[in-house]
Each structure stands twice: as C-alpha cells, then as structure tokens.
Amino acid sequence: MTKTNSGNFFEDFRLGQVIRHATPRTVTHGDVALYTSLYGSRFAVNSSAEFARSIGLASGGAAPVDDLLAFHVAFGKTVPDVSLNAVANLGYAAGRFGAPVYPGDTLATTSTVIGLKENSNKQTGVVYVRSVGANQRGEMVVDYIRWVMVRKRDVNAAIAEEKVPDLPAAVAAADLIVPETLTLGDYDAELAGNPHRWGDYSVGEKIDHVDGMTIEEAEHMMATRLWQNTAKVHFNQHTESQGRFGRRLIYGGHIISIARALSFNGLANAFKVVALNGGRHTNPTFAGDTIYAWSEVLDKLEIPGRSDVGALRLRLVATKNQPCAKFPMKAEEDGFGNAVAMPVLDLDYTVLMPR
C-alpha cells in the first residue's frame, strides 16, 4: 500500500463531503515582506502599523496583513485535496472576508463539497467546494466558493450523485463584515495616497490603472511555494513540458494579487476587501507576460448603521501584454495571427472606502 498522496480524482468526491485540510499555517512578518516583494502592494492600512492604529485596525502594534494574503494561505491548504489533479480552476463566488489577520495568527481551512457535474467527455468533471479559513480562535477569516475542473482516474467510473449549486450574483451589503473596531474619523487620505473617497466614484465609471507588471519565472515559483500550492500545473516543468502549453501556468491567485496591487493607482482608498462576489481566470498566463488592469464601478453600497464608510462593488479586469487603453478590452492580433492583448482575469469584488 502506498503511503504517498496522489490527490483526489473527480470520482473520489461526494456531495456533502467535508475535508479538513492538513498543515495549519502561522502567518509571520516574513510573509508580509514577501507579499510586498512579490506584488508591490501599497495600501496604507497594510503598509503602516501607525496608519492602521489611527483607524482602529492595529493589533498588538501590528497592521493587518493584506486580505488576499489571508486568501492565498487558506486557498493553498485546499490544493492537495481539491485541485491537485485539476485541469483548471474555473471560478469563485459568494466570498466573504471576516476577522482581520495579523502576524502570529494561525490559519486552517475546511472545505465542503457542494456540487458535482461530470463533463460530457467523461474524462473530467467540475467540483464545487465551499472553503472556510479560520484563525486559532475559530474566527472565520475567509469563506468562499470555487469550482474546479478535475481529471477522472477512470473514465468508466460511475458518478453517484450530481448537482450544480445555485450561486448568488453578489454578497449583499447587509452580509458584508465590517471590523467592529474600525473608525474612520482620523482617516488621512493624503497619507493613503489619493484624495478620492466613496462619494467621488460613480456607478459605471471605468479606471485605467495605467501601470504594468511583468511576471518573472522566479517570482511566480516563489509565490507557488510560499502559498504551499502543490498543483502540478504551477510548479512542475517536467510534467507540464508534455502538456497542452508546454509550460507551467501562473497560479490564478498570483494574477489577482498583481491586479489588486496595480489598482492602487486610482483606488488607493479602497483599503479593505470584504467580498469576492465572483470571478474567472479567462485565459492562461505565463512567465514573461506583462499584466495591466482596469476597474469598473458596478455598484455603490451603503453600510447599514455606518456613515463613515461605504462599499464599492468593482469589476477588476487584468489583461496581458498590452495596456488597457480601451473598455472593455478585447483580444487583438499582431498581424501574424498571434494574440497580443488578452483578458486573463475578470473579477467581481467589493471593497470598503471612507466616506
């Protein structure tokens, strides 16, 4: 009997199955430094403990870690059980961020299988899971649904029960979690880097974030290891050289963090992510590609009982290898039939912003 883990294949999953993922992870100041090194994020609340203290979000003298850092840690725990044999991570929905995470917190993740649908080719199927990351006190830090296309071990294996779950279009304003200690009376927009607050944005407004970031081979490999993401498509060039693309794919979460970091230029006061309403990785990304991003304001939400903070529901689109000069961005060709501009991420998420 083998003692190694080859990961779950599609026929191994069952509706209602609960998976308690191994290897809880303690977040450190080193993780924060590496996150900044990888993505260059400049949001003041995560960069400055003093700024975080001024709005009630510091703890033990430390600023909260970037919300997406917490997401990556929780996500990485799920890979060996959910997506080790995945063809692709297809999308996200119904995501909420809860308790802020600080250096020293230990995160663990549990997933529940909420949907299964075999593909017509009988070689793969789509697995829907709800994953909940919690800290050492059992407080939810991130709770989201994702769906993944997973290979079958045996194409003839029968699937006991199938179901495609109904997913909400967005997280309602009343369900957004605002930290109880948050107070924005002393919010310093000059130090945050942008004068524009919640009332300065309009539904339908589009913002080209202008800057681009090229993905280096070493950086995306470091990120994959940092988040303990063991998916073969990201870290094993030996196997992927024989696959469809002949190269390792960039982890989709890496693109999300790059695009979020780029969005600082235009949305610097969007200081906290509170919901991941939906999203898709629309095309593959590889080392050497340059990522650009633009945002569209989908909705403005008032927070019940709060006059100092509001929420923006945003569409964040990342493209590769051409600046976002047009909205919406579409694939273009270089005259030789090669795509030179292509959306790689289409993300619907909600942020908090001072009023």
In a domain, 242, yes or no: no
Does the residue 276 lie in any domain? yes
Angle at 83 between CA 77 and CA 89, to 5 degrees: 110
237, part of any domain: no
DSSP 164-209: -----SS--GGG----TT---TT--HHHHT----GGG--TT-EEEE
- What does the block give as tokens for 354? 């001072």
Q: Are residues 25 and 102 in the same domain?
A: yes
| Parallel/antiparallel/unpaired status of strands 272-280 and 86-97 | antiparallel
Tens of pLDDT, residue by residue over 162-198, are 999 999 999 999 999 999 999 999 999 999 999 999 9
Note whether 146 and 200 are same-domain residues: no
Domain shared by 132 and 204, yes or no: no
Residue 238 lies in a domain: no
Q: Are residues 109 and 19 in the same domain?
A: yes
Q: Determine if the pTM surpasses 0.85.
A: yes
Could you list the residue range(s) of the whole structural domain that residue 267 is in? 195-215+250-355
Amino acid 174: pLDDT:
92
Question: How many structural domains compose the chain?
Answer: 2
Look up residue 321 and give its DSSP letter.
S
Tell whether 210 and 89 lie within a shared domain. Answer: no
Over residues 230-256, the mean pLDDT reads 83
Are residues 207 and 152 both part of a single domain? Answer: no
DSSP one-letter code for 281: -
156, 178, 207 - which closes a domain: 156
Q: Give the tens place of pLDDT for each residue, 118-165.
A: 999 999 999 999 999 999 999 999 999 999 999 999 888 888 889 999
Residues 340 and 203 in one domain: yes
> Are residues 9 and 131 located together in one domain of the fold?
yes
The overall longest dimension of the chain from CA atoms, in Å, is 63
pLDDT per position as a tens digit, 215-241: 999 998 899 899 988 877 787 778 887
Q: What is the mean pLDDT of residues 249-254?
A: 89
User: Is position 109 within any domain?
Assistant: yes
Which residue matches tokens 């993300």? 347
- Both 45 and 137 in one domain: the answer is yes
In a domain, 310, yes or no: yes
**What CATH number is given to the structural domain containing 119?**
3.10.129.10
Whether residue 222 is contained in a domain is answered as no
